[in-house]
Structure 1
Amino acid sequence: MSNVNIKRVVENIRSKTTIYTPIAEVIVNAIQAVENTNIGQGSIKVVVKRSPQIEIDGSLPSIQSIEVIDEGIGFTDENRDSFDTLYSEYKIREGGKGFGRFTCLKYFKDFHVDSTYFESGRYRRRRFSMGREKEIIVNERVSDSELNTSKTSVTLALVTNSFLDKRLSTVARSLVEKILPYFITKDYFCPEIVLTEEDDSNSIVLNDYLREDFAVIKELEVDENSFFLGQGETTHAFYIRVFKIYSPKNKVSKISLVAHKREVIANPIHDYIPEFFEEFYDKREDGTNNLERNYIIKSYVFSQYLDDNVSPERGEFEFQKDNDIVYGVSQSDIESRAANLTKKAVIDDISIRIEKKQKRILSYVEEEAPWHKNIVGSIDLSDFPYNSSNEEIEALLQKEKFKREVAIRHEVNVILESKNIENFKENISDITEKISESSKNDLIHYISLRRAVLEIFRRSLEINVAGEYSSEGFVHDIIFPRKKGSNTLEYEEHNLWIIDERLNFTSYISSDQPSGRKRTEIPDLLVYDRRVAFRGDNESSNPVTIFEFKKPGRDDFVNPSSKEDPIQQTVRYVNSIRDGKFKTPKGLEINIAINTPFYGYVVCTLTEKVKEWLKRDKNFKPMPDNMGWFLWIDNINLYMEVVSWDKLLKDADMRNKIFFQKLGI
C-alpha cells in the first residue's frame, strides 16, 4: 500500500515535458516488457481514440485517449509492486527512474491498466487505475485469466492541459522523433510499433520511417562523430548521429540530447549556427533544389553522462544550461560541440549560406552604412542571424562598435594612469590609431546621414503626383522642427547646416514659438510662415539672424494686398528684438547694442513675379548666380538675402560633395 501525495508530485513536474512525453514513456515500458519475454521481436500497438463529437468544420475529431497494447511480460507481482513505489529502482539498469508514470497524470485525466501475465504456473489478469490522491494503485482486481498468453493494455484517457495533433501521421512523426534511439541502436531490434485508429484504419508502422523503401528519415554519414568534455582528469565522451527528417512541416533543425534511448531535450541548432535556421533540400542532377524533398537536420547526442544526469521526469537534465561549476559540463557546452560536428555533415549547404549571409551584410554596409566598413572588415560574421534585416545588422554592428569604444577607453585610462613614460611612448601610437579609426567611423556615419537628409530635402522641393509642392511645414521641419527651440532640442536633432554650418553651434534658437512674454508680441503670421532666429553667445557684439520660409512654388506674398510680406515681417521682428520685447529661453534680456548686426534670410521660390517684386518694390540686388537677392538696410543694421530653395540645396550639396566623394557614397 502506497502513501504518496500524488497531486503534489504531479504539480511539481517541470514544464519542459510535453504531451508526447508520457505517451513515449508508456511505449518504452511496453518495449521493455517485450524485451523481457522470449517471443522474439514482438509487436506493440498504439491506438488513438477520438472524441465522438463531430467537428463543425468537418475536420477530424480531436484525440481524447491513447491505448498502448503489448505482448510483453505483463504486470507480475514484482512489476506491480514496482509501479506502486515512488522512485522504484526495479528498472534502474534500463535507465528507469521510477517516476515516469506520474507525467501521465499531468496530461491525461485517467490511467488504466489491464494486464494478463504468467505467474506461479498459471495466467492471471490484473486490472487497476492510477490514483490521484494518496494511493498510486486504486480499484485493483486480480483474477484468473481466460487467455493463455501474456498481454497488457495501458490506456491514457481524456487529454488535459494540452492537446494532441489530430492527424495520425503527425502523431507518428512526433513519436518516432521521441523514441528514435530505439530504432537506430546498433545490434538492437526494436519491436514493431503500429499506430492506428480505434477501428484499425490508417495504420502506420513507426519502424518504417527509417526503412529504405519509406525513407522519411535518413541517417547522414559523419566523419567525426564523437567529442569529449570535462575538467582536469574528469572527461566525458559524447557521440552523435545525424538524420534528415523529410517534410518537417515548419519544424527547425535541432540537437536532441538522449538519455537511456529516449529524447530528453531538443533545441534549435540555429541557436549555435545561424545557417540552420532554414530547412534544406535534396539536390537534383543539375544541382538545383528539389522543392518536393525538403528536410531538417536532427542530431542525436548519446553519452553515459546524459544517462547519469537525466531528471526523474525525463524533461531535462540535472546540470545547468550554461556555466555549470558543479557538474563541469553544461547543456550549452554539449549542444555547441554537437552543432559544430553536425555542421560538417551538411558543410556544402552551410558554406553556401555563410557566403550568402556575408554578401548580404557587406552589401548593407557598402550601400547603407559605410561608417561600419572598418568594423565589418575585422570581425567574425558567423554569429550574425541568417537572413537578418538591416535593423538587425545595424544593431549588431553598433554593439561591436560600442564594445570597441569601451575597450579603447579602458586602454586610454591604463596609459594615462601609468607612471612609466616608456610605456606611454610605446603604446600611444597604437591607441591613437584605434581612436582615429573609431572617430572616422562616427564621421562617416554623420556624413552619410547628411546625404540622406539632403535627398529627402531634394524630394520635398519637387512636385508630387498631384502636381503640388510640399507645405511650408514639411520643408520647415526638415531644416528645423516647428515649435522647438535650443532649450528643447539638441544640435544633432536639427539640420540647420543646410543653410549655414555655423548654425550647428548657436546657443539660442527659436522656431515657430513665442520668444516674448505675451503672444500679442509675436508678428501676425499665417500657417508655417514663421521665422527661425539664432544667435551665438548672448553678447551685444554677436549678430542675430532671422529666417523666413515660404512654401516652394508660392509667390502670392508679393501681392499688394498680402499681409505676409516677408521683408516687412523680418524688419518688424528686428525692431521688436531691438525694443526689448523678447527674452532668451532662460528669461534673460537679449543684449542689443546700437551697432549689433542683424541678418535676415527669406527662403522661397524665385519666380519671375518674385524677382520683379524684389527689384522694383524692394530695391534688392541680384547675386552673381541669379539664385538670390540681397539688400543692406543701414538704419537698423540689417543685411537681408532672399534665396531660392534650389540655391539652398545647391550650396548644401556643394559644401558636402567632397565628403560624399571621399566616402564613396
Structure 2
Amino acid sequence: MWLKVFSSISVSSDFETDGELLRRRFDFNRTDGVANTQELIKGSVPKRTSITLQYPDKKFLLHKTIETVADGLLEHCLWYFVRDEGLPQIIIIDGGERLDLKDHFKHQLHSQTFTETLKIKQRKFGITHVKFVSSGKKANHSISFCAAGRVVKDEAIQGKIPGLNGSMSDEKGEFSYSGYITGEYLNERVYEQRIGFDIEDRVHDLFEETEISFEDIHEAVFANIKHYLGDQLNEKIKLGRERVDTFVSNKAPRYRSIISRIPEADLTVDPQISDKDLDIKLHRHLYQIEQELLQDGHDIANPREDETHENYKDRLSKYLEVSKDLKESDLASYVTHRRVIIDLLDSVIQKQLNGKFSLEEAVHKLIVPMRVTSRDFEFSNQNLWLLDERLAFHDYLASDTPLSAHPITENGTRKEPDISCLKVFENPMLVSDTHASPLASLTVVEIKRPMRNDIKAGDAENTGTKDPIDQALKYLKALREGTTTYNGRTIPRSMEIPGFIYVLADLTDNMIECCEYHRLIPTADGMGYFGYHDGKNYNAYIQVLSFDGLLVSAKERNKAFFDKLGLPSH
C-alpha cells in the first residue's frame, strides 16, 4: 500500500537486544523491495522510530494539504490520543510546514473525552466517548474494540442507534461520535496477530448465561451511547419525524395511510435527507406491506388447520384493514398526480423565459400522448379529466392521427393540406363512446396555442388561420360517414348521434370573434363560450374553454380531494 503511493520508503527503528540498544535501517522500494539493510549499535540515546515516505505519486497527493493529511491520520490513530497507555509524539512535516498531531487533536476535539464502566455478565468493560468536530465534513459515527492498547476492530454505527445519523450537534456545534470499548475480556480474547477476537456473534443454549457474545456487547454499548447522547438523539429523532410528516403531508400523501404500519425506528431519519431518498425509503416499506398483503391474500380464502372461527375472523379483519390502507394509498397517489398535472398546466400556459408562449404540443402531451390510439397507451397515461371526467370513458380514442386511419369511420379522404398536413395541436383528438345499443356519441377536441390571435372566423381552409370551431365541425362531419364501433359494428343513423366539440384556446379578440360568428353564448364566469349547432350533419354541442377557465375548473373539481389529503391548493 505504501509503494502504491510512494516510490521509496526509508525506515529507522531502535530496539533492545540482550541489554544493547540497536538501530536497524533499511530502504523499501518498488524495484528491490527491502534493501540497504544496516544494523548499528546506538548506545543510550532514547529509542525512536522514523519512517520517511518519499516521492509521492501526484494523482494521490497533489491536492492534499498538511491539515487534510493530519485529519486522516488523526481519524486513523484517534485511539492513541484517548487511551490510558499514553500518546506517542507524531509530527507531520510537509516542505516548510510542521504540524504536531497532538496540538491538532486538541483543536479538533469537540469536548473532553468521557469514560464509563459497563458490566456485562459479571465482566467489566470500559467505554470512552469522544466527540470530534465535524463542521464541513461528513459525520462518520463509529465504535472501536480495543485490546493491548491497540484498536483491533472498527465498526460504523451510523443509523444503528435511533437518531444517530448525519452530523450531531449540541450547544458547542456539530460533532461526530466515536466510542472505544476496552476490558480484560477483550485482552483475553484478542488473536495474537491483533486482527480480531475469539468472540462469537451470538451465544445460545448451554453457554448463554456465562459466555459473552458481540450481541451482548452491542446491546450494552448501544444502551450506554443512547444515555450519553440522550438529548442530542431525542432532538434528532424529533426533527427526523417532523421531516417525514412534512414530506408526507405536502408531497407524498400516498404514504399517510401506511405510516402507522411502519416501525417507529424506521421512521427515524436524518432531518437533512433528500426528498428522493426519503421517497425511496417509504416506498420500500409500502412495497413490503404490499408483498405481505399479497401473500396473506392467497391464504385468507381458507381457514388454517385447527383455526377457530374467531381467530379466522380476526385474521380476515386485519387483512381487510391493511387492504383498505393500501387502496387509500393508491387513491392518494392518483390525486397527487392530478395536483402535479394541474401545476404543470399552470406553468405551460404562462409566458416562458424566452418571452414566448409554449407550443400546442406542450399542452397536448399533458392531456394525452401524441400520435397514438387508445390501443397504444395505458389508461393511467391520459389526463382527459382536465377537460371533462367523462372523456376518460371511451371505446376508441385517436390522438393526432389522420382521419383515414380511424377504424370507427368509413371516411377515407385525405384532405390536403388540412388532414395530411395537420401538426401537433392543429390535429384533433377524436373520441367515440359506443354501447351495445345503437346509442353513441362522437367528440372532437381541438387545441390552439396559448394566446394565439391570428385565426379568422369561419375560415377553415386557410392553413395558417383556421377557425378552430369550424375546423372541429368539419372533422365531426367527416367522422359521421359510416360510423362504426371499434370492432366494426355499424351504428345506425350515425349522422344523427350527438356530437360534442371542445375547443381549448385563449379568448383573444380573434377567438371571441369566432365564438360570436358561431352564435355561442359567454359562460357566466367569462372564461368560455357554449352553444349548440343544429345544422344537418352536425347535431353538435360546442364548448370553448380558455386556458385560465380550464385551469380554474380543474382546480375547483379537484379541490375537495386536495384538501382531504392536505395538499396545498396553489
> Which secondary structure state, in structure 1, belongs to the residue aligned with residue 301 of structure 2?
helix
Structure 2 equivalent of residue 656 of structure 1: 558
Query: Are the structure 2 counterparts of residues 418 and 478 from structure 1 closer, same or farther at C-alpha, using a change threshold of 3 Å?
Result: same
Query: Are the structure 2 counterparts of residues 334 and 116 from structure 1 closer, same or farther at C-alpha, using a change threshold of 3 Å?
Result: closer
Aligned pairs for 1:266-345 (under 5 A) are: 266-273=154-161, 275-280=163-168, 283=171, 290=172, 295-302=175-182, 304-305=185-186, 308=189, 312=193, 314=195, 338-345=221-228
Contact map agreement 2:199 2:213 (CA 8 A) in 1? yes
Which of 400, 414, 417 matches 2:302?
A: 417
Name the CA distance, whole Å, in 1 between partners of 2:67 and 2:522. Answer: 84
Contact map agreement 1:117 1:150 (CA 8 A) in 2? no
Which of 110, 120, 128 matches 1:241?
A: 128
Paired residues in the alignment total: 535
Structure 2 equivalent of residue 357 of structure 1: 240
Which of 518, 521, 533 matches 1:618?
A: 518
Q: Is 2:454 the counterpart of 1:556?
A: yes
CA drift of 1:384 comes to: 2.3
Normalising by structure 2, report the TM-score.
0.75
Contact map agreement 2:118 2:124 (CA 8 A) in 1? no
Which of 488, 491, 515 matches 2:376?
A: 488
Which of 404, 425, 432 matches 1:528?
A: 425
Name the CA distance, whole Å, in 1 between partners of 2:380 and 2:315. Answer: 33
> Which secondary structure state, in structure 2, belongs to the residue aligned with residue 636 of structure 1?
coil
Aligned pairs for 1:130-529 (under 5 A) are: 140-141=37-38, 145=41, 147-148=43-44, 151=47, 153-158=49-54, 163=61, 171=69, 174-186=72-84, 188=85, 190=86, 192-195=88-91, 197=93, 202=98, 204=100, 206=102, 216=109, 218-221=111-114, 225=118, 239-246=126-133, 250=137, 252-260=139-147, 261-273=149-161, 275-280=163-168, 283=171, 290=172, 295-302=175-182, 304-305=185-186, 308=189, 312=193, 314=195, 338-379=221-262, 380=264, 381-418=266-303, 422=309, 423-462=311-350, 469-517=357-405, 520=414, 522=419, 524-525=421-422, 528-529=425-426
Contact map agreement 2:28 2:34 (CA 8 A) in 1? yes
Aligned pairs for 1:68-83 (under 5 A) are: none
Query: Are the structure 2 counterparts of residues 611 and 280 from structure 1 closer, same or farther at C-alpha, using a change threshold of 3 Å?
Result: closer
- Which protein has the larger Cα radius of gyration, Structure 1 or Structure 2? 1
Contact map agreement 2:530 2:544 (CA 8 A) in 1? yes
Structure 1 equivalent of residue 537 of structure 2: 636
CA drift of 1:496 comes to: 0.1
Query: Are the structure 2 counterparts of residues 367 and 254 from structure 1 closer, same or farther at C-alpha, using a change threshold of 3 Å?
Result: closer
Structure 2 equivalent of residue 27 of structure 1: none
CA drift of 1:200 comes to: 11
Aligned pairs for 1:43-122 (under 5 A) are: 109-110=8-9, 112-113=11-12, 115=14, 117=16, 119=18
Name the CA distance, whole Å, in 2 between partners of 1:464 and 1:201. Answer: 55
Letter in 1 for 2:446: E
Query: Are the structure 2 counterparts of residues 553 and 108 from structure 1 closer, same or farther at C-alpha, using a change threshold of 3 Å?
Result: closer
* % identity of equivalent residues: 22
Name the CA distance, whole Å, in 1 between partners of 2:44 and 2:72. Answer: 35
Structure 2 equivalent of residue 593 of structure 1: 492
Name the CA distance, whole Å, in 2 between partners of 1:205 and 1:462. Answer: 60
Name the CA distance, whole Å, in 2 between partners of 1:488 and 1:345. Answer: 61
Name the CA distance, whole Å, in 1 between partners of 2:354 and 2:5. Answer: 65
Q: Is 2:433 the counterpart of 1:545?
A: no
Contact map agreement 2:425 2:446 (CA 8 A) in 1? no
Query: Are the structure 2 counterparts of residues 629 and 347 from structure 1 closer, same or farther at C-alpha, using a change threshold of 3 Å?
Result: same
CA drift of 1:497 comes to: 0.8
Name the CA distance, whole Å, in 1 between partners of 2:15 and 2:562. Answer: 86
Name the CA distance, whole Å, in 2 between partners of 1:106 and 1:622. Answer: 80
Name the CA distance, whole Å, in 1 between partners of 2:192 and 2:6. Answer: 18
Letter in 2 for 1:655: R
Query: Are the structure 2 counterparts of residues 523 and 152 from structure 1 closer, same or farther at C-alpha, using a change threshold of 3 Å?
Result: closer
Letter in 2 for 1:258: F
Letter in 2 for 1:389: S
CA drift of 1:194 comes to: 4.6
Contact map agreement 2:402 2:414 (CA 8 A) in 1? no
Query: Residues 347-368 of structure 1, C-alpha deviation per residue, up to 9 Å, x if partnerless?
Result: 2222222222222221222222
Query: Are the structure 2 counterparts of residues 138 and 324 from structure 1 closer, same or farther at C-alpha, using a change threshold of 3 Å?
Result: farther
Query: Are the structure 2 counterparts of residues 258 and 105 from structure 1 closer, same or farther at C-alpha, using a change threshold of 3 Å?
Result: farther
Name the CA distance, whole Å, in 1 between partners of 2:258 and 2:199. Answer: 37
Letter in 2 for 1:243: V
> Which secondary structure state, in structure 2, belongs to the residue aligned with residue 297 of structure 1?
strand
Query: Are the structure 2 counterparts of residues 196 and 621 from structure 1 closer, same or farther at C-alpha, using a change threshold of 3 Å?
Result: closer
Query: Residues 504-558 of structure 1, C-alpha deviation per residue, up to 9 Å, x if partnerless?
Result: 2324221112353589453654652221112245866432211111234335333
Contact map agreement 2:143 2:180 (CA 8 A) in 1? yes
> Which secondary structure state, in structure 1, belongs to the residue aligned with residue 425 of structure 2?
coil
Name the CA distance, whole Å, in 1 between partners of 2:21 and 2:326. Answer: 84
Which stretches in structure 2 are left out of the alignment for 5+ residues?
Answer: 205-210, 406-411
Contact map agreement 1:620 1:629 (CA 8 A) in 2? yes
CA drift of 1:340 comes to: 5.0
Letter in 1 for 2:428: R
Name the CA distance, whole Å, in 1 between partners of 2:434 and 2:162. Answer: 54
Structure 1 equivalent of residue 208 of structure 2: none
CA drift of 1:195 comes to: 1.9
Name the CA distance, whole Å, in 2 between partners of 1:552 and 1:132. Answer: 71
Name the CA distance, whole Å, in 1 between partners of 2:350 and 2:457. Answer: 24
Letter in 2 for 1:195: I
**More moved, 255-264 vs 439-448:** 255-264
CA drift of 1:117 comes to: 4.6
Which stretches in structure 1 are left out of the alignment for 5+ residues?
Answer: 1-17, 20-103, 229-234, 284-289
Normalising by structure 1, report the TM-score.
0.66
Name the CA distance, whole Å, in 2 between partners of 1:108 and 1:333. Answer: 46
> Which secondary structure state, in structure 2, belongs to the residue aligned with residue 243 of structure 1?
strand
Query: Residues 310-331 of structure 1, C-alpha deviation per residue, up to 9 Å, x if partnerless?
Result: 69584x77999x9999xx9998
CA drift of 1:583 comes to: 10
Name the CA distance, whole Å, in 2 between partners of 1:465 and 1:116. Answer: 75
Query: Are the structure 2 counterparts of residues 389 and 558 from structure 1 closer, same or farther at C-alpha, using a change threshold of 3 Å?
Result: same
Name the CA distance, whole Å, in 1 between partners of 2:146 and 2:239. Answer: 37
> Which secondary structure state, in structure 1, belongs to the residue aligned with residue 426 of structure 2?
coil
Query: Residues 404-428 of structure 1, C-alpha deviation per residue, up to 9 Å, x if partnerless?
Result: 2222222232221327792544433
Letter in 2 for 1:618: H
> Which secondary structure state, in structure 2, belongs to the residue aligned with residue 628 of structure 1?
strand
CA drift of 1:483 comes to: 2.7
CA drift of 1:479 comes to: 1.7
Query: Are the structure 2 counterparts of residues 368 and 181 from structure 1 closer, same or farther at C-alpha, using a change threshold of 3 Å?
Result: closer
Name the CA distance, whole Å, in 2 between partners of 1:242 and 1:568. Answer: 81
CA drift of 1:442 comes to: 1.8
CA drift of 1:242 comes to: 0.8
> Which secondary structure state, in structure 2, belongs to the residue aligned with residue 436 of structure 1?
helix
Contact map agreement 1:110 1:157 (CA 8 A) in 2? yes
CA drift of 1:131 comes to: 9.2
Structure 2 equivalent of residue 570 of structure 1: 472
